Structure 1
């Protein structure tokens, strides 16, 4: 029996929607883009480099000093010169204790004047005596000019030089003149009066070694090395605006003891500066060269030893261990601070912040590693950095992401 075969079924051709090809194209483009960005990260080479830093700013000078005071009932007699360095326990000045009698001192000065006149009359033509008198006359005229503002100079220094010349002259007269009965009588009277004055006189000594100064501005206690960490922007601004002199006059009137001299550690002092914005270069321990506008003959070197962040600004302290020199009595001045920062140099845009940590991303092939760093300076689109952690993988000649 013959079997009828059914003809094969006809296949129906289906058209693929053109949108399908568009979708595939989008997927392919996305994959290519991802691969491109993964394998083609923009990087920069870490180089060994340097960046110069310079900043001008007003500063306040803070010294390691102490004020030595005494109850003073008359003009003190200074035994050392302004700016002179003394050792511990050295006599710096003489003052008079309670019971001091002006009349006795006046009598002593009068008898000493009689002695000198009598001696000079006996050797009036002596060449050495004439030379002393000429020098004393010149020094006295110089001192008057300084006091009247007609000449530059230090009054205390001029006064001490005048006293030294007069003492040399008196000693010369005692050695050169043979005493007679009249002169011996004068000497006896002088000795008795001098003994009475010496009972009231008290020598004020230096408590330790240092440089002596007789000038005060009233800020010696507030602005002192002992409280360098607590100085505020308000303190700095008060000094820069000239507030210390008024403070001095008020404190002098209220105190039973009067300041006699300052004793300064001339090999440790500080500069304090205030800024409304952060100065990243003033990181703790950074060292700078310093030049003062009014004292250009001597450069200094200072190290940042303190930073205080306030609500509306920053206060920075730099320590200097060079001899203070002409800045012994300076409280406010203008300074230029400059330094050369050296180290790993990268573009500024390589610096990143991740979860509050500053760093760079090291790229090695397809691997990326975020490395924390300390930024020493950023200037003109470049930065000097250093690894923030010991054993860091960051080195010169590596690539970092930018």
Structure 2
């Protein structure tokens, strides 16, 4: 009877201990009803901000008052020395252009296989050569210049003699050639053709950023001043005044972004590090390198990014919205809320086959605050997520 009583006491004691342990276990894991499954994925560390496009460009101004004729197409690249625009003086007679066009069309209709044509052409070439010699000699020796002038008159007389005995069509051709030469000379003397001083993208569009957003000034940008710049787009057309902006040649290899940064964002960047840039209206990823971070005013910072990849629209942009990707981690992925600290060690509670939670230590590779890439778990592991207030 005594033994029965002792056994009963042992059984009751065991029940009490099991109840206590059950309560302790329930207390320890209560609130961890939510779970998450480990997947393979990525976490991106990024932020969005405003950026200004900095270009290495050369501005060409009007040499005098006049009217601009564009010879280059907007947004296309031209080599050094290629004609990009022509400017006609304000007194230029535009009908001379139409007259030249008509004369050239009439000349194309002529048959040059006529007697004495080559003789007259040869004399014309000799006259031009002597006229050039005369103008040069006139600056040195007037007496010698007069001798050259006399030779010119002899050549003209010889030409007239040939024209008198040649078919009438030759005089028609010669008159057209003389008209063409006169018109070409008039146009040349009353206009200037401007060639590209360097190779680059040609643009006749200005937005007011040219004096501020340039490669010479990019390390001294003031954020407060940038906010006051009026980016009004102006396309150069027709009449211009001397000194007006006409055209810009934009280096299509070197371009930069000036990122406007909060103190927190500036702290995430490091000079010399690589970043990825996504522009709001462009689908492709662009690579860049941080070359300078500095204070832009009392509150904000400026981060200068030298761009590696080409953004086709960069030459006509001044202000854009961008997403800056600092780093991307790949691996085992969980919600950051699944990570807890137990006895000073980071880990997660993994549910085993028996659904009993097992604490596993982890190494955190990276996190964006919402998700975490970690080591120490396997794909498809089921992990407990504590309620708010538990864990760290």
Query: TM-score of the superposition, structure 2-length normalised?
Result: 0.52
Q: State whether residues 62 and 241 of structure 2, in contact with CA within 8 Å, keep that contact through their aligned partners in structure 1.
A: no
> In structure 2, how many angstroms separate the alpha carbons of the residues matched to 1:237 and 1:314?
14
> In structure 2, how many angstroms separate the alpha carbons of the residues matched to 1:300 and 1:205?
32
Shift of 1:56: 2.1
> In structure 2, how many angstroms separate the alpha carbons of the residues matched to 1:377 and 1:81?
49
Shift of 1:184: 5.5
Q: State whether residues 308 and 316 of structure 1, in contact with CA within 8 Å, keep that contact through their aligned partners in structure 2.
A: yes
| SS of alignment partner, residue 276 of structure 2 | strand
Q: State whether residues 87 and 191 of structure 2, in contact with CA within 8 Å, keep that contact through their aligned partners in structure 1.
A: yes
The alignment's C-alpha RMSD in Å is 4.0
Q: State whether residues 231 and 318 of structure 2, in contact with CA within 8 Å, keep that contact through their aligned partners in structure 1.
A: no
**Could you tell me which residue of structure 2 aligns to residue 308 of structure 1?**
294
Shift of 1:215: 0.9
Query: Is 2:372 the counterpart of 1:380?
Result: no
After TM superposition, the structure 1 = structure 2 runs for residues 336-351 of structure 1, keeping only pairs within 5 Å, are 336-340=323-327
| SS of alignment partner, residue 234 of structure 1 | helix
| Superposed structure 1 runs of 4+ greater than 6 Å apart | 117-120, 381-384
5+ residue gaps, structure 1: 1-49, 121-178, 348-375, 385-401
| SS of alignment partner, residue 283 of structure 1 | coil
**Could you tell me which residue of structure 1 aligns to residue 99 of structure 2?**
110
Query: Is 2:217 the counterpart of 1:231?
Result: no
Q: Residues 295 and 117 from structure 1, CA distance in 2 versus in 1: closer, same or farther, beyond 3 angstroms?
A: farther
5+ residue gaps, structure 2: 1-41, 110-168, 331-335, 337-364, 374-391
Query: Is 2:209 the counterpart of 1:219?
Result: yes
**Could you tell me which residue of structure 2 aligns to residue 209 of structure 1?**
199
After TM superposition, the structure 1 = structure 2 runs for residues 57-136 of structure 1, keeping only pairs within 5 Å, are 57-96=49-88, 101-103=91-93, 105-113=94-102, 116=105
Q: State whether residues 55 and 250 of structure 2, in contact with CA within 8 Å, keep that contact through their aligned partners in structure 1.
A: yes
Q: Residues 205 and 336 from structure 1, CA distance in 2 versus in 1: closer, same or farther, beyond 3 angstroms?
A: same
Bigger mean CA deviation after superposition, 320-329 or 210-219: 320-329
Q: Residues 70 and 284 from structure 1, CA distance in 2 versus in 1: closer, same or farther, beyond 3 angstroms?
A: same
> In structure 1, how many angstroms separate the alpha carbons of the residues matched to 2:106 and 2:50?
56
Per-residue Cα deviation, 1:141-167 (whole angstroms, up to 9, x for no partner): xxxxxxxxxxxxxxxxxxxxxxxxxxx
Q: Residues 291 and 207 from structure 1, CA distance in 2 versus in 1: closer, same or farther, beyond 3 angstroms?
A: same
Q: Residues 187 and 118 from structure 1, CA distance in 2 versus in 1: closer, same or farther, beyond 3 angstroms?
A: closer
Query: TM-score of the superposition, structure 1-length normalised?
Result: 0.51
**Could you tell me which residue of structure 2 aligns to residue 275 of structure 1?**
261
Q: Residues 228 and 260 from structure 1, CA distance in 2 versus in 1: closer, same or farther, beyond 3 angstroms?
A: same
Query: Is 2:185 the counterpart of 1:195?
Result: yes
Shift of 1:197: 1.5
Bigger mean CA deviation after superposition, 222-231 or 192-201: 192-201
**Could you tell me which residue of structure 2 aligns to residue 137 of structure 1?**
none
> In structure 2, how many angstroms separate the alpha carbons of the residues matched to 1:380 and 1:107?
72
Q: State whether residues 93 and 203 of structure 1, in contact with CA within 8 Å, keep that contact through their aligned partners in structure 2.
A: yes
